[in-house]
Structure 1
Amino acid sequence: MSSDEDDELAQLRAQRQARTGMPSLEATDMEVMVGPAVPSADSDAEDGDAWDGRGPGEPDEEADPYRLPITSEVALEGQGKLVASLDIDHSGSRVVAGSRDYSVKLFDFNGMKSDLRSFRSVEPFEGHPVHAVSWSPSGDAFLAVTGSAKIKVYDRDCSLRGESLQGDMYIRDQRNTKGHVSPCTYGQWHPTDRYTALTSSEDGSVRVWDTWNVAQKTVIKPTLKKPGRVAVTVARYNSDGHIIAAGLANGTIQLWDVKGKFGSSAAVGQVLPPKPQMLGKQDWRYVSGGGQYVHGAHAADCDITSLAFLRDSHTMLSRGADATLKEWDLRKFKAPVHVWEGLPADNATTQVALSPDERLILTGTSAGRDGQGGALLFFDRQSRQLVRRIGMPASVVAVQWHPKLNQIMLGVGDKKAGNVRILYDTTWSTRGVLQCTGRKPRPKDAFDFQAPLVIHTPHALPLFREDKPGGKRKREKDRMDPIKSRAPERGSAADLGVGTGGKIGVTGGTLLTQYILKNQGMLRNPAEEDIRASILRHAGKEDQFNQFTKAYEKTQPERIFAKEEEVEGSDKED
């Protein structure tokens, strides 16, 4: 580089330093940062003529100052209905998605090709939609929460690890039950403890589980204004797992401090929990009443669909079915800091999420009845303004922004179809779906050959097949006839004679026993046999039996027959 170019570059760096108040970056530091850019001290300054320090070919930050990875989109097909929940493991290699078609599908970016098909699919409970799925912090297992009162834990390859017990529905006191007694609504794995998870249910309780033994550890009962049972629609941990928040169906939000009452011990992660046979009959704890609660946080007749904590642990977001999104300060947990309205959420699990730098708030909206589709909305947490809206063909329910991949995963769908949509950018995103979009499946060749798969059923073999008289049209006509189609079939011997339908000679004499009987004269065809000769064959054989009965003739008593009694005077009168 010449001296003139060095002087020009130094002058531009000085201009950037004067504009932003930041020291100039060296060439080695001018790399593209993954995720949204950190806002500068004077990000609102308008200086379009000054150079902002970008190298040639770098994206224009003025066009998109948040660096949203939304330039490209792919869809992971396979779900028959709305995808209500999804989660990505910590490494960003596998996605688990739960759908309203009762199935849970597993996608692996490392082995998936451009057809974007799942490699595992399982139905946790038949006839129960999936409400929540959650990976463990180590990524070796995931939790599946459905409309059933039980939960299931699967390993990384979708093999069942364990299933929880269901509580006794006739026990009124929740502290005496071993599990949920009503359908579950939500669940989450502990963010740092690989052996702990929590679930919420319509029975009005939040339960903490030992995921190694799939046994109950703690029963949490929210505080209510009056005695009764109110469904808990969602329950979440904060970023370090020291706070539990729960949203109720009556619009109440309650918080519990986990550290002092029922927190994990110092041995978590070092020693496995005890085995089931070492557990007592009822060794779980019972906690009642939240440390903080707000009645009427959302509309009383609408569910609270999602909760999310910021990393500062004193800011929380809540999403409600009353078409609102609210931000709360837990230090002044009386009224929301800000409320966003006009956000329809017809699904009970519509989620709210944060960008990796927590500068943006993400949430989805439901599709309208007028044919208008759903959307993904981005709100700036500082200015409280809507900065981007991305339309979708159907309702957007599940939302997650993975910090390592810098890719946004969406659960989209309706009653007829659903899929997982991934938004990414070829410049700012890394790995993830970028690994498999370029892997095209092998095209079929004209010289490819595959042996046809032939499945033989017993009655499809020629041995059992009965070709009835009449053509194909006659058989189809008889099949459509309501009377003939219900009539029992005639015996095979009446149609084809002897040797079919399980009668003598069905194998044509190929069996050894039939071959011997036929050669010895003991196997005959009844149609060829003379019936008169068969009867006369037994004639004249009485003498053969008399030689055995002559000895009894001398000892037999004399036969005395009854005589008819004569009626006196009957002949005379006649």
Structure 2
Amino acid sequence: MMNRGKISFGKIGFNLGGSKATEGASTTPTLPRNDDVAKSTVASSGFGTFGKTSDENTSEPKEAEQGDMETVMGFSGFGKKAREFNLDALVDETRKSAIDRNRENIEKLKLKASEQEQGEGSLPAVPVLSDAQTPEANKSESDNDDDDDFIGPRPPPGLDVPRASAESESESEDEEQHKLPITHELVLEHGTKTVSALAVDPSGTRLVSGDVSYDVKYWDFQGMDQSKEAFRSFCPADGYPVNSVDYSSTGDKVLVVSGSQQAKVYDRDGIELFECVRGDMYLHDMARTKGHIAGLTCGVWHPRDKEEFLTSCRDGTCRLWHTSQPGSQKNVIKARAMNGLKTNPTTCAYNRDGMLVACACDDGSIQMWDHRKSFVNVAVNVKNAHDKGSDTSGLTFAYDNKGFATRGGDDTLKLWDIRNTKAAIHTKNGLFNRFPMTNCVFSPNDQMLITGTSLSKGETSGKLHVIDRNAWETVRELEVGPSHVVKIIWHPRLNQLMIGCGDGSVRILYDPKLSRNGAVLVAGRHKKRSKQAEVVVSQQVITPHALPMFREERHKSTRKLEERDRKDPVRSRQPDLPVGKAGSGGRVSAGGSTLSSYIIRNMGLRNKVHEEGDPREALLKYAKEAEENPYWVTPAYKRNQPQPIFQETEPAVKEGEEPATKKAKH
């Protein structure tokens, strides 16, 4: 008969011949061996045996010796038998404890409900769950937990939950869902014109703004104090308003789209990287040109690819560009109206995963193309989405990629389902808009839709409209500043609202409890003090044993040294003082700083004729000197007219007669 030998890992040994099972070997693998073969094998080997032997006489001293050795070596516990668990008993015990706890919770709920509804009648009978109806618990609770802290299953259908608590819970959920970070405000002064473009990098550390007065400014939240000044400002295209700015998916590049034909790409610090090429305006086919030939309207980066961006233009095309080839576009997309003629895109956008390229046109249509295919056939075409001739100013996709919203120039806001675009799901009217850059955005939780309105006649402030996406009800109307609301950004990481206004300011709304970084960092800083100019004094070498003529005086304070240098005209660089009356070396006296003023103030004063008395007498007193010593006129007429001839005096004219000089000649 064959016996199974067993290997024991508990006591570092194995028995190949014994029929008796060793301790701790219930689950160990076995090797089939014959007793005779095992005995002959052990006897023939010269290494002895491993573990216990089959000899009963020598088993006890060997076991004692082995136990002492295991204690000394430190592995006496390795051979203990594994603890056995009865799973069926544990499941039954857990099931019973869960049933008892459910019964206790139901009774407590019954008592609370009866206390609240005293005087209104008794509660209906509450059915008690049986063992078959009660679900089995997957995990048992500890016995030390309190019953009040235990969260059991839902109450049975027969037990009514108080309505007040249910309503309060639903209201709290709605408040949490529609909570807006609008408790605080930070104003950045961009300029005096309308802020038409706004963008924040993905990390939320920098903000870029552009206005209709051709300027673009960079703002850094981490390096900004309460002075709130931009660290860089430039003009991308003089004479053209800035229509759009956008950060790439990694935040290392900024796309600036102005009203010119060429878009520009800048780095994070505002250094221009390249400029897109301009197309040939004399070509009829727009696919043959290398770039746009009319004014740009919008531009966005690809949400996944950091090297690709999209631009829309009034030449009837949208073009895809790659940063490695700024000399020519990557693809050309032609927008067509219902009659087949070209139509001009007013805004463009990617969906959230970049699979769709969309644009809104001035004929009121919304057209989308599949990015994975050729841009010939339109994948989605929504005709008459807005009024024809009105510029659709905003097009944005929801975070779930199932819906999108459009902000029209016809004073409407529409919500669409991309799976069924025959008609809009919801429409909001009466939202006045006068800017072709006004946009709309979804909240980070995708439950709200936000847009702004312009000032109409009689209004004093622009409004921010917050609309519930599901119920399509206005959650909040917030007045923002004394001007229009044009551009809106709700950054999901900062949880802050950036609003570009018509008065040239960028207003940032935030809540210190809900928002993080961004404007919160700026509001907590103080204004940096301007450093006063400090006088740098050269280091002095102290030589105590030098000769007196080479020894430098040791000054304990710089104030005395400055006073001494001030008295020295050479060290203080004192300018030359004005000289006396004569002047020398090109310098004039204190009478004047120029030569003409010097002559007027000095030479004129020296020969000044006092106007006191009769001027005729003042001149005649020099007549005798002029006759005796003639200098100017008399020597010139000395030869040809020694005797001067003066004009004779005319006789007096009687009244009523004309003088002889005025009588008519006959």
TM range, smaller chain: 0.5 to 0.7
* Structure 1 or 2: more strand by fraction: 1
**In 1, Cα distance between the equivalents of 2:323 and 2:526?**
39
Check if 1:425 corresponds to 2:511.
yes
Q: Please point out which of 332, 347, 358 is paired with 1:245.
A: 358
Partner of 1:291: 379
Q: Please point out which of 445, 449, 453 is paired with 1:361.
A: 449
Partner of 1:10: 149
- TM-score normalised to structure 2 length: 0.56
Cα shift at 1:312 = 3.2
Post-superposition CA distance 1:375-413 (Å, at most 9, x none) = 111111110100011112211111111111111111111
Cα shift at 1:182 = 0.4
Check if 1:133 corresponds to 2:272.
no
Cα shift at 1:371 = 3.4
The amino acid that maps onto 2:452 is: G
Q: Please point out which of 75, 94, 97 is paired with 2:209.
A: 97
Partner of 2:290: 178
Cα shift at 1:50 = 8.7
Cα shift at 1:138 = 0.7
Cα shift at 1:292 = 2.2
Q: Which sections of structure 1, spanning at least 5 residues, go unmatched? A: 1-5, 20-41, 54-58, 262-286, 452-462, 473-491, 498-574
Post-superposition CA distance 1:84-127 (Å, at most 9, x none) = 12111111111111111111111111111122211111111001
Check if 1:47 corresponds to 2:135.
no
Partner of 2:429: 341
Check if 1:83 corresponds to 2:188.
no
Partner of 2:491: 402
Match of 1:436, SS? helix
Please say if residues 243 and 256 of structure 1, whose CA atoms lie closer than 8 Å, have aligned partners that are also in contact.
yes
Measured at CA, do residues 361 and 449 of structure 1 come closer, stay the same or move farther in structure 2, by a change above 3 Å? same
Please say if residues 222 and 288 of structure 1, whose CA atoms lie closer than 8 Å, have aligned partners that are also in contact.
no
Q: Please point out which of 498, 502, 524 is paired with 1:438.
A: 524
- TM-score normalised to structure 1 length: 0.64
Match of 1:47, SS? helix
**In 1, Cα distance between the equivalents of 2:384 and 2:519?**
42
Q: Please point out which of 201, 223, 228 is paired with 2:336.
A: 223
Partner of 1:311: 399
**In 1, Cα distance between the equivalents of 2:385 and 2:169?**
44
Measured at CA, do residues 333 and 113 of structure 1 come closer, stay the same or move farther in structure 2, by a change above 3 Å? same
The amino acid that maps onto 1:180 is: H
Measured at CA, do residues 470 and 390 of structure 1 come closer, stay the same or move farther in structure 2, by a change above 3 Å? farther
Measured at CA, do residues 18 and 135 of structure 1 come closer, stay the same or move farther in structure 2, by a change above 3 Å? farther
The amino acid that maps onto 2:149 is: A
Measured at CA, do residues 160 and 338 of structure 1 come closer, stay the same or move farther in structure 2, by a change above 3 Å? same
Check if 1:259 corresponds to 2:334.
no
Match of 2:196, SS? strand
Cα shift at 1:176 = 0.8
Q: Please point out which of 218, 223, 226 is paired with 1:114.
A: 226
Among the aligned pairs, what percent are the same residue?
A: 37
State the aligned residue count: 403
Post-superposition CA distance 1:241-270 (Å, at most 9, x none) = 100111001101111011122xxxxxxxxx
Task: Identify the structure with bigger relative contact order (alpha carbons < 8 Å, sequence gap 6+).
Answer: 1
Measured at CA, do residues 226 and 61 of structure 1 come closer, stay the same or move farther in structure 2, by a change above 3 Å? closer
Which structure would you say has the larger Rg? 2
Cα shift at 1:444 = 6.1
Match of 2:190, SS? strand
**In 2, Cα distance between the equivalents of 1:468 and 1:185?**
67
**In 2, Cα distance between the equivalents of 1:342 and 1:8?**
56
Please say if residues 135 and 142 of structure 1, whose CA atoms lie closer than 8 Å, have aligned partners that are also in contact.
yes
Q: Which sections of structure 2, spanning at least 5 residues, go unmatched? A: 1-144, 536-583, 600-666
Post-superposition CA distance 1:496-528 (Å, at most 9, x none) = 79xxxxxxxxxxxxxxxxxxxxxxxxxxxxxxx
Equivalent residue runs for 1:488-503 within 5 Å: none
Partner of 1:502: none
Match of 1:350, SS? coil
The amino acid that maps onto 1:442 is: K
Cα shift at 1:228 = 4.1
Measured at CA, do residues 468 and 313 of structure 1 come closer, stay the same or move farther in structure 2, by a change above 3 Å? farther
Partner of 2:411: 323
